[in-house]
Amino acid sequence: MEAREVLENHALKTTSCRHEVLGLLLSTPQALSQSEIEKSIDPDTDRVTVYRTLKTFLEKGLIHKVLDDSGATKYALCIDCGVNDHNHEHVHFKCNECGQTSCLDKVSIPVINLPPGYKITEKNILVHGICQNCG
Non-local (6+) Cβ contacts of 85 within 8 A are 61
Q: Which position among 97, 109, 124, 129 is part of the footprint of Zn ion (CB under 5 A)?
A: 97
Q: Is 128 helix (H, G, I), strand (E, B) or coil?
A: strand
Q: Which is nearer to Zn ion, 44 or 80 (CB)?
A: 80
Non-local (6+) Cβ contacts of 90 within 8 A are 103, 104, 105, 106, 107, 108, 109
Q: Which position among 21, 76, 77, 91 is part of the footprint of Zn ion (CB under 5 A)?
A: 76
Q: Which position among 83, 98, 109, 126 is part of the footprint of Zn ion (CB under 5 A)?
A: 98
Q: Are 64 and 86 in contact (CB under 8 A)?
A: yes
Could you say whether residue 8 binds Zn ion (CB under 5 A)?
A: no
Give the interface segment with Zn ion, choosing from 6-14, 38-46, 68-76, 109-117 (CB under 5 A): 68-76
Q: How many CB atoms lie within 10 A of CB 25?
A: 23
Q: Which residues in 41-60 contact Zn ion (CB under 5 A)?
A: none
Site of interaction with Zn ion (CB under 5 A): 61, 64, 76, 78, 81, 86, 95, 97-98, 103, 131, 134
